[in-house]
Amino acid sequence: MLAVITGATKGIGKAIVESFAKEGFDIVFCARTAIDVKQAEKEWQKKFPSQKIIGVSCDVSKKSDLQKLMKQVLSLKKSIDVLVNNAGIFFPGKISSEKEGTLEKLMAVNLYGAYHLTRMIVPMMMKQKRGHIFNNCSTASLFAYSNGGSYSISKYAMLGFTKNLREELIPYNIKVTAVIPGATDTPSWETVKLPPNRMMPAMDVANMMVAAFKTSPQTVVEEIYLRPMKKDISEDEF
């Protein structure tokens, strides 16, 4: 089995790699920072010696980088069982006052990267008549919040993309799942001082994805919606 995972060296992405690797998957993963990719690849090759764990330095907003990623995927000459579009960035702000170009940058990484990589991989899944695509959305895909700005716009778009893709791929037995996590303990929150048990562990999100993958062929988990037990984090907690 082979999984392709973007944004995979930290936080939820790192947990996703480890969860699928524990299930015996070979994995091609990517992240933007070359040194992080090399370090993670070395760590996982040692931890999972019987599997192929290949890292690629890739900025998902650049088609040329995605093509480089696909070259590594195709070199394994294996069917692609799982695609996880996890790469994303977050800039807080208000639509009326955020820096010029914020929307374009967020859309390029949070939506267009997933769109273009999916279009590269889906024809192979359609040919094999199976596969599972996970798109990492956010609770910002579901409702507006203060300082959401262009980030929320990009995540609403990601959920819309996911829903349309799911409908389109039903005839090919390809499952499409929107992953919608609330506040998760990742580097994105490292500057916010909160009790350790206030946020969800990244591994909880990853393990739910593996569980969704394991459902029978006639079942699709359309959305994985996870929130902290004490509900979402409010600004007055910062």
The end-to-end CA distance of the chain, in Å, is 42
The CA radius of gyration of the chain, in Å to the nearest whole number, is 17
Strand partners, 176: 133
Distance of alpha carbon 156 from alpha carbon 175, whole angstroms: 20
Q: Which of 115, 151, 156, 225 is the catalytic position?
A: 151
Distance of alpha carbon 67 from alpha carbon 42, whole angstroms: 23
Annotation marks residue 151 as catalytic = yes
Task: Judge whether 184 and 11 are in contact, CB under 8 Å.
Answer: yes
Distance of alpha carbon 213 from alpha carbon 153, whole angstroms: 28
Distance of alpha carbon 160 from alpha carbon 152, whole angstroms: 12
Edge-to-edge, what's the strand order for the sheet holding 223-226?
53-57, 26-31, 2-5, 82-85, 131-136, 174-181, 223-226
Residues serving a catalytic function are: 151
